[in-house]
């Protein structure tokens, strides 16, 4: 993943949905959300899309203005629902870097 800075927009955040056997086929998932937790505890829930067709287990979300407002260690998780139930992925982390002079 490329460096992410406070205020970046259009940054693709990808989540791999997998189990002990590797990537899961999530093509039947009807609700796909990416949940972000900022270093200060704010939670953002955003609708995600398949990166391809879902058979590779990959979800994606592109950040918009107002999403990434704080530098530090962020947490990311996917929440999924299909006809047989709902589940969440493991929580992963990524770093957001500050900008020079606090711009953005």
Give me the pLDDT at residue 2, please. Answer: 79
Give me the pLDDT at residue 104, please. Answer: 58
| 72-101 mean pLDDT | 94
Q: Quick one: pLDDT band at residue 99, thresholds 50, 70, 90? A: confident
Distance CA 36, CA 69 (A): 12
- What is the assigned CATH class of domain 4-96? mainly beta
Q: How far apart are the first and last CA of the chain?
A: 21
Say if residue 1's pLDDT is above 60: no
Classify burial at 15, counting beta carbons within 10 Å of its beta carbon; exposed 0-12, middle 13-18, buried 19 or more: buried
| 22-41 mean pLDDT | 96
Give me the pLDDT at residue 31, please. Answer: 97
CB atoms within 10 A of CB 16: 16
Give percent of the chain with pLDDT exceeding 70.
95
Say if residue 32's pLDDT is above 60: yes
Nearest to 73 by CA among 94, 102, 99, 42: 94
Q: Quick one: pLDDT band at residue 39, thresholds 50, 70, 90? A: very high
Distance CA 44, CA 34 (A): 8
């Amino acid at each position: 993943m490329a460096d992410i800075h406070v205020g970046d927009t259009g940054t693709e955040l990808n989540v791999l949905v997998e189990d002990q056997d590797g990537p899961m086929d999530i093509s039947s998932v009807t609700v796909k959300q990416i949940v972000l937790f900022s270093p200060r505890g704010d939670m953002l829930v955003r609708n995600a899309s398949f990166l391809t067709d879902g058979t590779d287990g990959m979800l994606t979300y592109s950040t918009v203005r107002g999403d990434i407002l704080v530098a530090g260690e962020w947490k990311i998780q996917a929440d999924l629902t299909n006809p047989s139930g709902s589940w969440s992925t493991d929580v992963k982390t990524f770093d957001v870097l500050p900008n020079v002079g606090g711009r953005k």
